[in-house]
Structure 1
Amino acid sequence: MYFATKAFYRKEIGNIWNSLIVHMMKKMKIGLLIIALLSLIPRPIGSEELPLFPVPDGMALQIQFWINVFTLYSDHQMIIHDADKPERIYKIVDFRAYFPDGGGDRIQEREILEREKDKVISILKKLSTTGITDSLSREELRIYRLFGTKPTKNTFVRAAQSVRIQDGMRETFLDGLVRSGRYLTEVKVICEHYDLPEELAYLPHIESSFNPHAQSKYGAVGMWQFTRTTGREYLTIRTEIDERRDPYLSTEAAARHLKMLYRNLGSWPLAITAYNHGLSGIRQAVRRVGSTDLSEIIREYQNKNFGFASKNFYAEFMAAVWVSENVSQYFGQVHYASPLRMTNHELQENLPLSKVIEMFDTSIDELKDLNPALRTPIFREEKDIPEGYRLKLPIRGDEYVFDNSTILENQPSPQNIDEQNNNPETGKWTMLLKNVETWMKTVFSLNRTQTQQSGDENPLFWSVEESEMANKPEMDLSSSIIPENAVSIYSDLQLTEFEITASLHVDGESVVVQPDETLGHYADWLEIPTWTLRRLNNLNFYQQIRIGQKIILSFDRVSKTQFEERRLSYHQEIRKQFFEQYRIEKSITHTVGRGETLWTLAVYRYDVPLWLLMAYNQDKDPNRVKPGEIMTIPIIEKVTPPSNGTT
């Protein structure tokens, strides 16, 4: 099965047309000259057109998986599936079957998932040794049949190592659709300004559900989830202002960034994947695989950084666009949030918050809602709103006004940004034909049937030994690394400024690399080009630095004290932003297995920031974790974000 695209049908028509011409010429025995002339006959319209967003070979079912995640599976359902082939679903865990009154908590849910995932892994391991026999249980036989005809034992070995859990997202996606009503019109305007396909306006669905306040545990912020490193290429990011949180300025930045990625990579599947994985990462993948075909890259490219999220990012995008363009098919009538009614006013001088409220007859709540880029120091009046800031203010009348000229003015035109590149084709959605709804419903029905078949089975996660860490000594609560409102919650992880500063100290002319640091950060703090650091440390262009590595620095432009202050401020902000969004639910212990590292445990196993895992295991060498060692694992939980009336 496959997604039928306009391009697919046009390509097939074009191929048939070519075959007919060749067949006719052979039959008529006309010479090559006449063949060449007749080949100029106009072909069916569009047979040569390439789609902006093609469905790579083998990705159709992957896209359908994400459509189902967004529309079929609810937030109380968990999907146990194969990470390499997401459409291979082993089990659907519905917490309503365990907690009909809704009384379950996160710890109980995780324990259920751990048990059920272990059951699946045990079955796959059994199948890897026995294959198909008459002694298989009904459940074992069902899972065996998910692998088609004559799977090898190695197939089950690999599958047992790639069992994954995915949350259902129906309610989450619907909330994002409703919230998108506030921003989508202007997001599309900005895409049009940069000659970008308007379908890119749906990308925030998979980044943040159109939530300007979204923040990942890895420090990505805002509707478009910019990291500090990438964000500072386009936006102002300071203690008092973080423009990543501004839905319109961040959209303008995302448009420029996406255009740059497309210019460098030449296709939207690669450019969109690079939005998640990075330009250098995708370039490296293309070079190593020797192909620009995304399906081939996903299948062949082996790199620990190129994980599930990157491999599925384009498929998620395709699914998000399809659902966004066919909302009623999945959600019926959706009542979108009203577009924001506001105008921009550029401040001519630094102004305290109280003065702004007085001058423009507004309130703190209105300013927070319309200006999410303004941070806590502004609202505590520790800092003024700076001169030149484009303040967004509410409009009280009946007329909807949004003055986006102040966002786009003085920005480089698309032609100036992309002089050496033909502008990418724009226009209406060319990905999927609307007249394949019958086919879509068939696939949807098959997936629903599979869900129902597995619904009477039980559901799972990783087996670990739990400990409440009752004997873990408390750290100094006076830390400025943890925000004041978090101290009472995180009493078992209070990193003092001394402890942080000690790890960031400059030793002579060098530093030891810490989590979340890159050469780009060092170059930024030192105000020198990155290539200077590469030359000093004999690093080639694609060589990455690793945690614990010693890096030689150059202090020609800034002092060591300035460097240390900037470095400390960066790590303080990461921790502050993390604890604004997450709390530590508890801690458990984990026995390190063969091949596991701090990095794989943090990113793939427990999904926690590496710096947090290292803080809990300060006696461990991050580059020399041995099998059998006992690690302390913090289990984190997302804190309910502040309500802004947008969901």
Structure 2
Amino acid sequence: MRKSLYPVLAMLCLCAVTMVGTNSTHAHHLLADTELNCSEDFPCPEALHGRVTFWAHVFFKWGRSKAIFHDPDVPERVYSVVDTGKGCSNSVKSRLNRERKRIKTALYNTANKLESSAPLSKEEQHLASLFPDKDPNQLRRKSEKIRCQTGIRESFMKGLARFNRYSYMVDNILAQYNLPPDIRYLPFVESTYNPRAYSKAGAAGMWQIMPSTARTLGLQLDATIDERLDPEAATHGAARYLTESRTSLTKLAHKIDPSVLDSEISPFVITSYNYGVNGMRRAIKRVNPDYMEVLEKYRSPSFRTAVKNFYASFLAARHVVKNTERYFGRELAPRPVKVVTVVLSNSTSVDRIKQVFGFSEEELRPLNLGLTRFIWNGWRMIPAGYKLRLPYRDDEYIDEIAYFKSLPRENPMSESGTYIVRKGDTACGVASALQVNCRDLISANRLGKRALIRIGQKLIIPGGLFALDQSGSGGVERTVIQRITSSRNQQTYRVIKGDTACGIARKYSVSCRELIRFNNLGRKAVIQVGQSLRIPGTGNDRRELARLDEGNRYLVVKGDSACRIASRFNVDCNELIRLNNLNRKATIFPGQRIRIPGFEAPQTNETVTELAQLDKAIAEAVSQQVDTLTGVARPELNNLLDTMPDLSVRVSQTGGAPVYSIIAMAEETLGHYADWLGIGYAGPVRKLNSMSIKTSLSIGRKIKLPIDSVEQISRFERKRIEFHQILNEELKENYQLVEIRSHVVNKGDTVWNLATEVGFPVSLFYRLNPDLLHISLVPGQQVLIPILRERA
């Protein structure tokens, strides 16, 4: 999959949409060119002026209620402007279709009259004037390609306020990288300077950086920090990208034509931010290093409207910002943010930060946008070394910092056993983040079959370090969080009033029979209040249970044998051997996964039972070729966002030696694998898989991993799961999954093109269509498409 940066022009609605509405202002003449006053760094070819003018009007003239119908190849050829109240939104789809049909009919009628030399009506004269050649065939062709664009005047005005806040910082960083200062206008195209922007495809932040690109740009993206959302860190990343892009494209252009000027390469550099450096290199090689010629002659399924208009929209943003007073009646007034930065020497909770410095989340979060939802929800600690930003104060918090440093280190495990539901949460998402069993959480909180939760609801967190006491008091049921004790060799539970042996077993997702046998409770399983029960499978500081994965399998370590594992879990050795189809010698090797009879480990990636109904509904949608999947499945759709593919390391055997491998998933890179393995760089992974430095990683490819220890497997899987979990959480915080549609693949369709045009993460596509991980799309093939809706 082509990658570098994949900013989706969400704010510009550059994606193809179903066309247009009512109350139209009839056909406009070609828009008059705007006086651009371009710089030496970024030229404005005369042939590009029309495109630039169109995007300038989108930015300063037309608001979000306006739907602009135009020619996608000649954007300044505007057929009509309609006030639908919601622009080109699908919520006014029928109105858009009527207007599109009206324009199409008018173009056909005009073509027919031009061909027969019949007199034209006033509107037909307007339409004919948009086509200087008056070619009837051209009018008919263009009637099939009518595009709708929503105005963004209001968003652009908000962007100007954010520009005042961040421009000083951006200018300084661009200067550090010796980049042209006018690049400061690029975030207007990406996000209208919104550091919280998050596209449906997964691009995040002011610079709209994709997860797979973050790592190559030196940005941290894990369970605690997403630097794509940190304006300063993301600007450094974007600057690094643009510097490397210019170097690569300049070298190629000079190889083809040594006379090419640096300024002539600038349009390619800017466009590469949307299309990728490799995409631009292919275009230059296929045509030549002349931007306008590439725009006119280069053909590729991925070289679509958004790419072709990217440089023009950049020039338009530059022009509009430089003429703010003219277009918006106000002058730019930069007001850089002043903060006090505190480097944390130890990991700490966000609650401690609030208490020591006296700030609320609403005051801290805008200054620390890189901290993830896992931090603000209290699921993780802020890591040591993080540069915490606080509102500016003259004394720089000297007393508070001294007190903060004097405090003892915090225990990373919460003692509360409760969690307050926030926007975007689902029951299984909370369970996954807190590493407890989803069914247990649903049961403990009596959430019902659909596991519905509401913002502000207090959830009890079962299992793990906490158990529930549902004892009665004066006829009123109360819930008490009981701390579980865990010795080095065995986890134990102290019996309280109302407990039963099987009830305790359910809390820990272990077999009731095994708990009874493990504690010699006898046939009647009698237990007493205050009695200490051992939890099976938790010996050796719970390391055995920790190695049970979502498939109820144990990760073999050096020195293990089949019967030794069986003994450790107190199960029959022969039953374990039969369950795993082991040979007569019961041979096992490190890294192999062994199923344990009668055990059910907590499943961090599990979803509620109703997702089985969703799977059934999806299968019916495919077999019946229905257009959408809603109805019975809708309440469970958002739980689908919490499901994840198999992210475990697979083990096979070649020549008596174990071979460790995974299946590559969306947003992953070889660099990620190196980081998660703790080996520093991707060279060993490339060597093991016979991949050159130029070989790209494709989704669905089997990748062998250089693994030396079981601990390395555990680290890899934990880091990998957390990476995908945080992407899930960020998506849920911004969007809801509202529908699943059936789509018939057309010629030229790719997963990436569908993702950018419809608006969904590639990873979600493969969750719905797992069979496509290893094959390409074929015209006529039926696939399932997720439909996301932005949260209010």
Same fold (TM over 0.5): yes
Contact kept? 1:177, 1:336, Cα under 8 Å:
no
2:528 counterpart residue number:
none
Which whole-Å CA distance do the structure 2 matches of 1:202 and 1:615 have between them?
37
Larger displacement relative to structure 2 (515-524 or 215-224): 515-524
1:82 counterpart residue number:
71
Which whole-Å CA distance do the structure 2 matches of 1:595 and 1:277 have between them?
17
Distance change in 2, residues 1:517/1:621 (3 Å): closer
- Within the alignment, does 1:382 sit opposite 2:382 as a pair? no
Query: How far apart are 1:187 and its partner, in Å?
Result: 2.0
Q: How does 1:129-278 map to 2 (within 5 A)?
A: 132-133=115-116, 134=118, 142-151=126-135, 153=137, 156-157=140-141, 159-160=142-143, 162-232=145-215, 233-266=217-250, 267-278=265-276
Q: How does 1:192-591 map to 2 (within 5 A)?
A: 192-232=175-215, 233-266=217-250, 267-291=265-289, 293-333=290-330, 338-396=335-393, 491-495=636-640, 500-502=644-646, 506=650, 508=652, 511-517=662-668, 521=672, 525=676, 527=679, 544=696, 546-548=698-700, 550-556=701-707, 562-591=715-744
Contact kept? 2:128, 2:134, Cα under 8 Å:
no
Q: In structure 2, what residue type is equivalent to 1:62?
A: R
Q: What SS does the corresponding residue of 1:373 show, helix, strand or coil?
A: coil
Contact kept? 2:69, 2:147, Cα under 8 Å:
yes
Contact kept? 2:201, 2:756, Cα under 8 Å:
no
Distance change in 2, residues 1:222/1:540 (3 Å): same
Cα deviations across residues 137-163 of structure 1 (Å, max 9, x unaligned)?
765664444222143636743x35543
Query: How far apart are 1:132 and its partner, in Å?
Result: 3.6
Which whole-Å CA distance do the structure 1 matches of 2:752 and 2:121 have between them?
37
Which whole-Å CA distance do the structure 2 matches of 1:94 and 1:185 have between them?
37
Which whole-Å CA distance do the structure 2 matches of 1:480 and 1:123 have between them?
58
* Match for residue 51 of structure 1 among 37, 40, 46: 40
- Within the alignment, does 1:63 sit opposite 2:52 as a pair? yes
* Match for residue 764 of structure 2 among 608, 612, 616: 612
Contact kept? 1:482, 1:576, Cα under 8 Å:
no
Query: How far apart are 1:200 and its partner, in Å?
Result: 1.6
Contact kept? 1:614, 1:622, Cα under 8 Å:
no
Contact kept? 2:67, 2:148, Cα under 8 Å:
yes
Query: How far apart are 1:85 and its partner, in Å?
Result: 1.9
Contact kept? 1:475, 1:491, Cα under 8 Å:
yes
Q: In structure 2, what residue type is equivalent to 1:170?
A: R
1:92 counterpart residue number:
81
TM-score (norm 2): 0.56
Which whole-Å CA distance do the structure 2 matches of 1:315 and 1:111 have between them?
31
**RCO comparison, higher one (Cα < 8 Å, 6+):** 1
Contact kept? 1:598, 1:622, Cα under 8 Å:
no
Contact kept? 1:481, 1:496, Cα under 8 Å:
no
Q: What SS does the corresponding residue of 1:368 show, helix, strand or coil?
A: helix
Q: What SS does the corresponding residue of 2:309 show, helix, strand or coil?
A: helix
Distance change in 2, residues 1:627/1:244 (3 Å): closer
Which whole-Å CA distance do the structure 2 matches of 1:576 and 1:482 have between them?
15
Which whole-Å CA distance do the structure 1 matches of 2:686 and 2:695 have between them?
9
2:96 counterpart residue number:
113
Contact kept? 2:644, 2:767, Cα under 8 Å:
no
Which whole-Å CA distance do the structure 2 matches of 1:301 and 1:341 have between them?
47
1:639 counterpart residue number:
791
Distance change in 2, residues 1:596/1:278 (3 Å): closer
Gaps of 5+ in 1: 8-49, 97-101, 400-473, 641-647
Contact kept? 1:493, 1:616, Cα under 8 Å:
no
Larger displacement relative to structure 2 (331-340 or 311-320): 331-340
Which whole-Å CA distance do the structure 2 matches of 1:81 and 1:593 have between them?
24
Query: How far apart are 1:130 and its partner, in Å?
Result: 8.8
Cα deviations across residues 240-268 of structure 1 (Å, max 9, x unaligned)?
11222122222233223322322333432
2:560 counterpart residue number:
none
Q: In structure 1, what residue type is equivalent to 2:243?
A: K
Contact kept? 1:590, 1:631, Cα under 8 Å:
yes
Which whole-Å CA distance do the structure 2 matches of 1:389 and 1:172 have between them?
32
Q: In structure 2, what residue type is equivalent to 1:228?
A: P
Contact kept? 2:67, 2:88, Cα under 8 Å:
no
1:453 counterpart residue number:
none
Which whole-Å CA distance do the structure 2 matches of 1:164 and 1:227 have between them?
27
TM-score (norm 1): 0.68
Cα deviations across residues 419-465 of structure 1 (Å, max 9, x unaligned)?
xxxxxxxxxxxxxxxxxxxxxxxxxxxxxxxxxxxxxxxxxxxxxxx
Contact kept? 1:590, 1:633, Cα under 8 Å:
yes
Query: How far apart are 1:579 and its partner, in Å?
Result: 1.7
Distance change in 2, residues 1:609/1:80 (3 Å): farther
Q: In structure 1, what residue type is equivalent to 2:171?
A: K
Q: What SS does the corresponding residue of 2:788 show, helix, strand or coil?
A: strand
Query: How far apart are 1:338 and its partner, in Å?
Result: 4.6
Larger displacement relative to structure 2 (60-69 or 347-356): 347-356
Query: How far apart are 1:377 and its partner, in Å?
Result: 2.7
Cα deviations across residues 492-550 of structure 1 (Å, max 9, x unaligned)?
353387x63348774856555544445555565565866776676676766655555x3
Which whole-Å CA distance do the structure 2 matches of 1:95 and 1:398 have between them?
53
Contact kept? 1:80, 1:165, Cα under 8 Å:
yes
Distance change in 2, residues 1:371/1:634 (3 Å): same
Cα deviations across residues 444-490 of structure 1 (Å, max 9, x unaligned)?
xxxxxxxxxxxxxxxxxxxxxxxxxxxxxx99989967999xx9986
Cα deviations across residues 49-84 of structure 1 (Å, max 9, x unaligned)?
x81110135211111111000001111012222222
Q: In structure 2, what residue type is equivalent to 1:77?
A: K
Query: How far apart are 1:2 and its partner, in Å?
Result: 6.0
State which structure, 1 or 2, has the greater radius of gyration over its C-alpha atoms.
Answer: 2
Distance change in 2, residues 1:56/1:505 (3 Å): farther
Contact kept? 1:489, 1:583, Cα under 8 Å:
no
1:452 counterpart residue number:
none
Which whole-Å CA distance do the structure 1 matches of 2:134 and 2:110 have between them?
12
Which whole-Å CA distance do the structure 2 matches of 1:174 and 1:614 have between them?
38
CA-atom RMSD in angstroms: 4.1
Query: How far apart are 1:226 and its partner, in Å?
Result: 1.7
Which whole-Å CA distance do the structure 2 matches of 1:126 and 1:596 have between them?
32
Q: What is the count of residue pairs matched by the alignment?
A: 511
